[in-house]
A and B are shown apart, each in its own frame.
Chain A
Amino acid sequence: MDALKITLSEGVLTAKLSGDMDHHGVSEVRETIDENLYRAMPTVLNLDLSGVEFIDSSGLGLILGRYEKARELGTQVVISNPSKRTKKLITMTGIDKMMTIKEEVKK
């Protein structure tokens, strides 16, 4: 399974992250997200966390780092589909107050 899948559609750059968002995992995807962000200059950067199995402060650092970079470009950051566990850490650290969290509608 790829740790990162990037798609661009109608001004929305989606970075779908999978696996472990720890210090090891984020070091492998950080540069690719940034390269695509600066190249596409999207209206929205959508960090899709649906495939994330583990996250700690390194993963949260990746989100905050992209938020800072996107803000400089005038790009809005959206976090989508976090698991219950991921959402707990996002809420604990106040990241939910900085950016929009979108959850998948359960069918």
Chain B
Amino acid sequence: MKKQQINHVTCRFASKSQNEALARSIITGFLLPLDPDAEELADMRCAVSEAVTNCIVHAYRNGDGIITLGAKAYSDRSVKIVISDNGCGIADVEQARKPLFTTLPGEDRCGMGFSIMESFSDKLTVISHVGRGTKVTLTRRLNDRT
């Protein structure tokens, strides 16, 4: 049976660090009706937090900007989450995705953001254009509930 979209949400919010918690709350509210287990929920909250933090710290360099968080849920219990910005973009996505890589080594950035997002997703895609922004898509299928 072809999977069908059963719910979706799109939110736009300012690139401010206090909105990292807001993004986690939004994704929690979206996922809870799907009855994820505690680990799945924690994984997705963490992955979203990483993506949003990247927008704030790297894309907008702690300046003004808008972050868009979108989420879609499908009938096969898969979830697609998209976090996008209109910031500086990533010149070399492959390099950025390598563990421990960071462009801000003196600022306690451990370079594990993309690695954590990858670990907590079934699939992670990153599309970026320098000077135009970055779109991160996380896909995960939640465990079946009995």
Q: How many residues of chain B are within 8 Å of chain A by beta carbon?
A: 22
Contact A30 B20 (CB under 8 A): no
Which residues on A sit within 8 Å (CB–CB) of B56?
Answer: 23
Determine if A58 and B53 form an interchain contact, defined as CB atoms under 8 angstroms apart: yes
With A56-B50, A56-B53, A92-B119 as known contacts, state yes or no: A30 contacts B108, CB within 8 Å.
Answer: yes
Docked complex: A36-92 residues within 8 A CB-CB of B = 54-58, 60-62, 64-65, 85, 89, 92
Residues of chain B with a CB closer than 8 A to A89's CB: 46, 116
B146 CB within 8 Å of chain A? no
A20 vs B113: C-alpha distance when bound (angstroms): 16
- Contact of A93 with B by CB under 8 A: yes
Question: Which residues of chain A come closer than 8 Å to B21, judged between CB atoms?
Answer: 20, 22, 24
User: What is the total number of residues of chain A having a CB less than 8 Å from a CB of chain B?
Assistant: 21
Q: A56, B108: Cβ atoms under 8 Å?
A: no
Q: Given the complex, which residues of B lie within 8 Å of A32, measured CB to CB?
A: none
The answer to whether B17 and A93 have CB atoms under 8 Å apart is no
Query: Considering only CB atoms, which chain B residue lies closest to A19 in the complex?
Result: B21
**Is A100 located at the chain interface by the 8 A CB criterion?**
no
Across the interface, which residues of B come within 8 angstroms of A64, CB to CB? 108, 110
In the assembled complex, how far is the CB of residue A25 from the closest CB belonging to chain B, in whole angstroms? 8
